[in-house]
């Protein structure tokens, strides 16, 4: 790949992060921009959508992310208020710094809010992880994905199916570039530093006989509103997890939303068993270690479906759909929905035969961020020269 120098008069790239799944996507992009010769200037803006130490600062440390240049401190609120507040506080940043473009990642409320502000001011918006679709408009993230992609100027995709989704929505192919998966850049970069699972399991209070159990352990994360916000969905899910834990000890890394709902609905007794460790949200290196040593992952997270595919660890996704179909077609992922029988059957199959083998998808090779840096430079130069819109 030939690298073109960043024109000094172009201004910085404003890089936006807001919530936990953004951090592991942005870290390799900032590294690639810094390594570009000469370095691409950046301004890191944290909207403050996630603010707890466990959900934010700790991940910055684990991922070696620089401290944000600006923190908008928006915090938690309804979707409307949170999105509006990010927009209101982000606009003056663009007025002051006059960036070359705004770069957003993923599908959280901050992603859409900052894209809207940029494009309405005539500043190009660049979306990393574009084109993923669950075709489930009940998911807040799906609305964020569709709207961000419609108005952003440059779209970077992680799998080829995403380009097809964008084409069907009428987005011209010239706006799209398939670069691979920056989340896997982070995974490969930090893999060596990940924590030994035994240390995390012992710290979680599992007795040594469980830590050394031949069937291993499973890792659980659940945080989608559709799974955890109503008692009628959360209670049966926790009941199934307890049944699973009788076959395989489980480590449950609890999102604050899930922890709060377990308490609110009085369900703590359901998960009070020595075979299930209820942990706070884990650091990046701990989660990576836990995942790499797991027999199975049970999750409703998007990122974990991809990370388990990259690591070759079987994943049972507690959702009816996924916006990341390549993890099913090529990877180790299986959709089990909220069906208790399907979850138990999935675990049994994995315990009996090891589960899906899978392979690592194209361009999930640790170099996606480098491709973005090279393409962004070319694209902005061509845009300035009037060669593209
Ligand atoms: C957000 C993203 C979701 C992503 C998830 C990862 C949207 C629409 N959703 O969902 O795509 O998968 O992050 O975690 O952007 N809270 C804390 N501390 C925090 C942050 C949140 O306690 O640092 C609690 C608050 O009670 C808050 C709730 O968690 O109301 C939900 O937080 P919010 O940012 O609204 O959405 P997430 O469920 O985290």
Q: In the block, which residue shows the tokens 């390549």?
A: 326
Candidate of 21, 49, 79 to mutate for ligand 1, largest count of ligand atoms within 8 Å of Cβ? 49
Give the model's confidence band at 10: pLDDT under 50 very low, under 70 low, under 90 confident, else very high.
Answer: confident
Query: How high is the pLDDT of residue 210?
Result: 73
pLDDT tens-digit map of 97-131: 999 999 999 999 999 999 999 999 999 999 999 99
Query: How high is the pLDDT of residue 329?
Result: 97
**Ligand 1 atom having least distance to the Cα of 224:** 38
DSSP 8-state assignment for residue 335: E
Query: How high is the pLDDT of residue 387?
Result: 58
Is 223 noted as a catalytic residue in this protein? yes
Query: How high is the pLDDT of residue 195?
Result: 83
pLDDT tens-digit map of 343-368: 999 999 999 987 898 999 999 999 99
pLDDT tens-digit map of 53-86: 999 999 999 999 999 999 999 999 999 999 999 9
For ligand 1, which residues put their CB under 6 angstroms from it? Answer: 19-21, 49-52, 55, 76, 107-109, 140-141, 223, 255-257
Distance from residue 116's CA to the centre of ligand 1 (Å):
20
Distance from residue 135's CA to the centre of ligand 1 (Å):
21
pLDDT tens-digit map of 34-47: 999 889 999 999 99
Q: Is the pLDDT reported for residue 389 higher than 60?
A: no
Distance from residue 89's CA to the centre of ligand 1 (Å):
19
Distance from residue 378's CA to the centre of ligand 1 (Å):
35
**Mean pLDDT in the chain?**
94
Q: Is the pLDDT reported for residue 2 higher than 90?
A: no
Q: In the block, which residue shows the tokens 């100027």?
A: 153
Q: Is the pLDDT reported for residue 231 higher than 80?
A: yes
- Residue 129: which residues within 8 A CB-CB, separation 6 or more? 25, 105, 106, 107, 156, 157, 158, 182, 183
Of the candidates 130, 132, 128, 105, the residue with the CA atom closest to the CA atom of residue 323: 132
Angle between helix 284-292 and 182-190 (nearest 10): 80
CA distance 257 to 387: 47
Query: How high is the pLDDT of residue 385?
Result: 84
> Residue 190 corresponds to which tokens in the numbers above?
């930090």
Q: Does the reported pTM lie above 0.75?
A: yes
Query: How high is the pLDDT of residue 35?
Result: 94
Q: Is the pLDDT reported for residue 194 higher than 80?
A: yes
């Amino acid at each position: 790949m030939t690298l073109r120098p960043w024109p000094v008069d172009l201004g910085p790239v404003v890089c936006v992060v807001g919530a936990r799944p953004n951090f592991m996507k942005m870290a390799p992009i900032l590294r690639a921009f810094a390594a570009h010769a000469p370095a691409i200037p950046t301004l890191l803006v944290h909207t403050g959508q996630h603010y707890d130490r466990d959900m934010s600062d700790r991940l910055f440390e684990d991922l070696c992310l620089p401290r944000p240049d600006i923190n908008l401190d928006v915090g938690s609120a309804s979707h409307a208020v949170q999105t509006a507040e990010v927009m209101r506080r982000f606009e003056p940043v663009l007025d002051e710094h006059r960036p070359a473009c705004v770069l957003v990642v993923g599908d959280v409320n901050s992603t859409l809010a900052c894209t809207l502000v940029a494009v309405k001011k005539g500043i190009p918006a660049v979306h990393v992880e574009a084109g993923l679709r669950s075709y489930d408009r009940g998911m807040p993230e799906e609305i964020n994905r569709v709207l961000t992609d419609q108005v952003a100027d440059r779209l970077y995709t992680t799998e080829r199916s995403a380009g097809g989704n964008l084409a069907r929505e009428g987005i011209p192919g010239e706006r799209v570039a398939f670069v691979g998966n920056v989340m896997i850049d982070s995974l490969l970069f930090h893999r060596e530093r990940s924590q030994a699972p035994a240390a995390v399991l012992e710290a979680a209070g599992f007795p040594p006989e469980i830590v050394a159990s031949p069937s291993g352990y499973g890792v659980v994360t659940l945080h989608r509103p559709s799974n955890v916000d109503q008692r009628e969905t959360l209670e049966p899910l926790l009941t199934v997890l307890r049944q699973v834990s009788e076959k395989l000890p489980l480590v449950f890394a609890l999102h604050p939303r899930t922890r709060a709902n377990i308490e609110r609905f009085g369900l703590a007794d359901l998960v009070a068993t020595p075979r299930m460790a209820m942990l706070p949200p884990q650091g990046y290196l701990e989660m990576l270690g836990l995942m790499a040593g797991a027999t199975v992952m049970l999750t409703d997270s998007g990122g974990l479906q991809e990370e388990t595919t990259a690591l070759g660890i079987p994943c049972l996704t507690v959702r009816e759909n996924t916006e990341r179909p390549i993890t099913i077609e090529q990877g180790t992922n299986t959709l089990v929905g909220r069906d208790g029988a399907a979850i138990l059957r999935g675990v049994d199959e994995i315990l009996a035969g090891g589960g899906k083998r899978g392979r690592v998808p194209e361009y999930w090779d640790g170099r996606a961020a480098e491709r973005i840096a090279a393409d962004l430079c070319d694209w902005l130069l061509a845009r300035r020269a009037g060669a593209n819109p």
